[in-house]
Amino acid sequence: MAATTVRGALRLSNGDAKVNPEIESERRKAEFNPEDVTYFLEGGQENTERRRALEATVFSDPAFKKQNLSFMTQEQRYTHSVGLTIKAIKKMRELDITDNQQQWWFKEAVHGSEETNLSLHSSMFLHCIYTQMTEDQQEIWLNAAFDYTVIGTYAQTEMGHGTYLRGLETTATYDPSTQEFVLHSPTLTSMKWWPGNLGKTVTHAVVAARLITQGKDHGTHMFMVQLRSMKDHTPLPGVELGDIGPKLGFNNIDNGYLRMDRVRIPRDHMCMKFSQVAPDGTYTAPPIAKLSYGSMVVIRSFLIDHVGVGLAKGAMIATRYSAVRRQSELIPGKPEPRILDYQSQQMKLFPQIASAFALLICGAQLKDRFLEYLAQTDEGNFSALPELHGTTAGVKAFTTEMASSGLEILRMSCGGHGFSAASGFPEIYSNVVAACTYEGENTVMHLQTARFLMKAVKQAMEGAKLTPFMSYITANPQERCPARNPNDFMNMEILRNTYRHRARSTVRHAAKCLEDEIRGGKSSHMAWNDNHLHLIAASKAHCHLFILDSFNRSIEGWEHQGPARTIMEQLVRFYGLHGILQNKGEFLVSGHLSVAQLDLVNKQYIALLEAIRPNAVALVDAFDIHDDRSGRSWDATTAMSTRTSTIGPSPLPSTKKMPIPVFWSGGGCIQFTHQAIPGGEPKQGPGEAVNIRRKNAKSEPIRWEVMMMVADSVKSDVRLTRFLCVC
């Protein structure tokens, strides 16, 4: 039987008993080869084949055997996750996998959408070394980080402040007599709070602290601080560390806290690529004050990709579920239709499919732009930083909100099944929604972008030349949309101009409101606070245009010609039309679009729903998410959806794994005391109640001892537990 490999899974030919005929019939409807789109997303067939080969290595290795995480405690999940990470590191060394992207693919295959343990070590910690340290410092720290001689995290957020860098309270005071910095947490609110792997795992951290030298505060700078002993892993003198406890998500990660009491580090442990402190304490400022923001830019680009993958997984689960789930009557007396045939279901699913593609493409493009920026900084050119930082702040907020709200729509599109952990949605959602607040709270991120936009408006009014993308600010406000029929909105130039005018109008309106209030006597600070509504709207309009533009430019630059290109061109236009319908007011207020044209948008939107329908399952196949990611409860092998979708939605296999004890009650109040029995060797199977026996028949109250076995999903053995019941 013919079969083609798709991300390590087999796409079986028609008629195979293992494939749900509903899914198979959906794939036969497809008008394009999903492989072509997969290659497009990953930059070519060679990259896809390499990723699949790495995944196949993981999935065939017993060391990465799948575990059900849903029934694990937080401590068990942490232990299991760290164990997987250690095995993955050893395996990558054994296979000589040194390329960053390939390492990422390998670790993602090992961990799935559960956050990869030590992810901050390989992302923010390493990037701080790359971007903020001198070559001499890099020579010391990079090798140690690559070898995992040191394990690091990034510690910026405090109990009292996070996104607001100038509010950070941790101090780093320079002592010229010893040529050391003294790191100190002067208040309870200055305690570092939230850094990943800080609670139990890391040995070092790049700490954001206020640099004080020669009696002057020079603001936030980065310092390499050793936190734990390299001999026995205990906290060093003056260092207080701990785990912050259970969270909404990421419960395999030991997010922690850090309090320092006058901890001393050598002078050369300050990150000195752009700013320096001489032995006598003399401070040299960086050429641009915000150069330290470079690391934030790269982590935001990774975040966009991260939430894009999460949204893609949700879209895949909900779409495959909708292809096999049958419900109600579309035509009286006829068989129940697939819920994917209902227009209302398509309106839930298809915008999220398009959004997932948009996020994955935008994230990839931002990574490329960051690499270009790094090359420019090596030559002393920092001109790209203001726009790069200004835009990525808002884009981070816009995309994480898009993914979070999209996942909730997808979850609800699966009815009650979407609420079950077996569906995968709770795990995916809790990990994606966290991105709305970490690495910059979203409202603050939008306001950072708004500040950049207000400066751009001022520059435009002063006659300065803006970058090609920012030139929308100077677009002619009298220009009107030329569309006369629904199909005109398939013209990407018309669609893009509609977004440009919406952004121009919204940004200009925010600037005018600010100016009017300042002229009316308000201070600039109060005027800013009183116009958050308009400023945030300006940021969202700017970011929406940026994502649409990135999505479209990527497709225009694709050399492929054929059906796959056609469906992607439909998808980017569908994404654009959906955005107009979701923000009708702003598009109408711009004056560029009329009410009559809005009706044309609606008609073309409905036409594209019909055009996308036969390709829906193939589009989520193109995300190429393997059915058998090791050890995930959220992955494509959820009870909701697999590539083969053998029996459709069925949570039964998952519920049978539940380690639920069975208690005997003779009536009245039962009091349980719980303790482990060492050395027990029960004969019954996992999950069975055993040896219920009366212990003291004559005494009152009646005492019963219930012996029970509960399967331990981490250690793959059983433990014998005694419940003493008093009736």
Binding residues: 157, 196
Vertex 188: Cα angle to 182 and 193 (nearest 5): 85
**Rounded CA gap, 621 and 642, in Å?**
10
Q: Provide the annotated binding site for FAD.
A: 157, 196
Query: What type of residue is 496?
Result: R
**Rounded CA gap, 23 and 19, in Å?**
7
Cis amide leading into 279 (omega within 30): no
Judging by beta carbons within 10 Å of its beta carbon (0-12, 13-18, 19+), is residue 399 exposed, middle or buried? buried
- Secondary structure letter of residue 395 according to DSSP: H
Query: What type of residue is 473?
Result: I
**Rounded CA gap, 169 and 182, in Å?**
14
Q: 3-state DSSP call for residue 707? A: strand
Alpha-helical (H) ranges within 70-134 are 74-94, 100-111, 119-120, 126-132
**Rounded CA gap, 111 and 106, in Å?**
9
Rg (the chain; Cα; Å): 28
Reading the block at residue 571, the tokens are: 């998808």
Query: What type of residue is 556?
Result: E
Q: What is the four-CA torsion angle of 150, 153, 156, 157, rounded to 10 degrees?
A: -140
- Secondary structure letter of residue 217 according to DSSP: E
Query: What type of residue is 333?
Result: G
Query: What type of residue is 396?
Result: K
**Rounded CA gap, 321 and 413, in Å?**
9
24, 108, 427, 439: the catalytic one is: 439
Q: 3-state DSSP call for residue 277? A: strand
Report the interhelical angle of 595-612 vs 343-378 (nearest 10°). 100
> Is 439 part of the annotated catalytic residue set?
yes
Closest of 266, 204, 543 to residue 392, by C-alpha? 543
Q: Which amino acids are annotated catalytic?
A: 439
